[in-house]
A and B are shown apart, each in its own frame.
Chain A
Amino acid sequence: GEDVEQSLFLSVREGDSSVINCTYTDSSSTYLYWYKQEPGAGLQLLTYIFSNMDMKQDQRLTVLLNKKDKHLSLRIADTQTGDSAIYFCAERTGTASKLTFGTGTRLQVTL
């Protein structure tokens, strides 16, 4: 199957770390992605990880992949108000062109 699940909502204080979680069911995923959607805008790629990696770090972003548990997480260090948005994980399986998106997590950053 191609179900990708995320928690709906996360609230953090400015300066704290945010951790957004994602679970997927298709073990043949090749790439996994994190996208950010700000209000009224399209999705922008934040980062991606290849399925043979466990971790990827990119400035304030850290992606962890646990293939055994089919679990992907995105950690945002020193969360800022500008990080408030909806975050989508996505997996690429089978057809190279097709990405399956998660349900999205709305991140709210409070002062």
Chain B
Amino acid sequence: DTAVSQTPKYLVTQMGNDKSIKCEQNLGHDTMYWYKQDSKKFLKIMFSYNNKELIINETVPNRFSPKSPDKAHLNLHINSLELGDSAVYFCASSPTSGGSNTGELFFGEGSRLTVL
């Protein structure tokens, strides 16, 4: 009964390839996110969607394209992969409606991307 699940867990690919990471949450949350964690464990937000609408789009190369087919899914497609894209990508979700929204994020287990 995984709350936030990501696939694949590991991804090894060559420079220049295109790859996708998928995320699904069964918590009924309205908002989903992609975070990138680099080799120094620094965690930075990339995108956020609320009810399929893009609400946060940080300074991320346009090779990265998120897509939310419905509020339970948020996928990340990366074109023309570069060495610097190697990182762990975390999907997360949060409830946003209601007066007691504490902003808590629920994270997936991460997708480790290695670009060779």
Contacts and interface: CB of A to CB of B under 8 A. Distances in A.
Partners in one complex: yes
Interface of A: 30-31, 33, 37, 40-45, 48, 50, 86, 88, 92, 95-101, 103-104, 106
Contacts, number: 65
Contacts of A95: 55-56
Interface of B: 4, 31, 33, 35, 40-45, 48, 50, 55-56, 90, 92, 94, 96, 101-110
Given A41-B109, A101-B43, A92 B103 contact: yes
B41 A86 contact: yes
Main secondary structure of the interface of A (DSSP, over half): strand
A49 B115 CA distance: 39
Most buried by B among A31, A40, A86, A99: A99
B42 A43 contact: no
B104 A45 contact: yes
Contact of A48 (B50, B104, B109, B110): B104
